[in-house]
Amino acid sequence: MKTVTDLSVNIAGVTLKNPVMTASGTFGSGMEYSEFVDLNHLGAVVTKGVSNVPWEGNPTPRIAEVYGGMLNAIGLQNPGVDVFIERDLAFLEQFDARVIVNVCGRSIQDYLDVVDRLGDEKRVDLLEINVSCPNVKEGAIAFGTRADSLYDITNRIKKIAKQPVIMKLTPNVTSIPEMAKAAEAAGADGISLINTITGMKIDVERQRFILANKTGGLSGPAIHPVAVRMVYEASHAVNIPVIGMGGISCWQDAVEMMLAGASAVAVGAANFHNPYATQEILDGMTDYCRRHQVTAIRDLTGGVDD
């Protein structure tokens, strides 16, 4: 008899129909990719970072390809929370997928403004707090590289948030377990990792930086082993759910991430290479579960023989 796998997973009390979501910043608010993928099939759509007011982002060039990946320095360009609610959230209303809104800010108050504004939006299932973008001069990563700052911002957001709060961590730290524990101690309902790894690329002929911002965040298959290691470490350090991301480009990568300790996975740069990536990864994971007679996909979480 064929195994019918229960694909649902639970993140901080919110049930997702399956563990495949999109990584913030790679999928807009879903509109652009809805031509390729039925958003109803996704566990969750994670939106691009939303700030209290419109952000212009960085000058161009913002993108550089590197071996096995890419650098980006978008700088969190976004139209601000008001347009986000009116346009993007309204668009997502028609789909049966969980909505996770990624929140960014320059100051703690900026974050609190957005979290407060989203509080009564029923369509928002979870908040993902971006304390890990390496491409803005103020805020974001500045809150995510020291355990005491991470504790402080998490704590203050938790006091006013009406939705469960996931803290998105940066890999650009000495100790991932320490940061994961700080987020958990401050009341975070989950953590997601990894954001991009800070990198740089120089055009040797012109002897100039490729990116206008000089540095950018490295994503793509090149960072996948780093992400697997960090998800493994983080999931051993805390009891809250871990959402794993970083270079997932095929179902094997996604399964690997769950075996390392992730409760759900997010697909990022792979969407650029293959706009159907999320669906194909979900199909591959489903097939894997059948072959391995996994009755509930959540049983894969932390399942590596340790």
Partner 1 sequence: MKTKQTLRVRSQKEIADGIFDLRLQYTDRDRIPDNVLPGQFVNVYPRDASALLPRPISICGFERQEGILRLVYRRVGKGTAEFSRLAEGDFLDVLGILGNGYDPAVLAGRNVLLIGGGIGAPPLLGLAKRLAAQERQEGKGSVTSVLGYRTDDLFLKEEFEACGRVIAATDDGTAGFHGNVVSAAAAVFPAGGSIDAVCACGPLPMLRGVKQLARKLRATCYVSLEERMACGVGACLGCVTRTTGTDEHSHVRNARVCTEGPVFNAEEVEL
Task: Rule CB under 8 A: say whether 134 interacts with partner 1.
Answer: no
User: In DSSP terms, which residues pair with 244 in a beta bridge?
Assistant: 193, 265
CA distance 24 to 219: 12
Q: Tell me the closest approach of the beta carbon of residue 288 to partner 1, in angstroms.
A: 21
Whole-angstrom distance, CA of residue 280 vs CA of residue 297: 16
Give the footprint of partner 1 on residues 205-234 (CB under 8 A): 220-221
Name which of 271 and 301 has its Cβ closer to partner 1: 271
Question: d(Cα 304, Cα 255) in Å, to the nearest integer?
Answer: 10
Task: Please work out, in degrees rounded to the nearest 5, the angle formed at the alpha carbon of residue 300 by the alpha carbons of 190 and 259.
Answer: 80
* 251 in contact with partner 1 (CB under 8 A): no
Record the tokens describing residue 34, joined without a space.
């809805």
Active site residue 133: yes
If we measure between CA atoms, which residue out of 289, 302, 306, 201 comes closest to residue 251? 289
- CA torsion, ordered 28, 21, 283, 218, to nearest 10 deg: 70
Q: Which span (74-82, 90-98, 142-150, 169-177) binds partner 1, by CB under 8 A? A: 74-82
Q: Which of 138, 276, 292, 304 binds partner 1 (CB under 8 A)?
A: 276
Nearer to partner 1, 23 or 294 (CB): 23
Minimum separation from the CB atom of position 268 to partner 1 (A) = 10
Pattern 81-100, binding to partner 1, x per CB under 8 A?
A: --x-----------------
Q: Quick check: helix, strand or coil at residue 215?
A: strand
Contact 261, 235 (CB under 8 A): yes
Q: How far apart are CA 153 and CA 225, in angstroms?
A: 29
Token pair of 22 as six digits = 């999109």
Interface residue with partner 1 among 25, 105, 134, 199 (CB under 8 A) is 25
Least Cβ distance, residue 260 to partner 1 (angstroms): 22
Residue placing its CB nearer to partner 1 in the complex, 19 or 247: 247
List the catalytic residues.
133
Binding footprint of partner 1 on the chain (CB under 8 A):
25-28, 32-33, 35-36, 48, 54-57, 60-65, 67-70, 72, 74, 77, 79-80, 83, 220-221, 269, 271-276
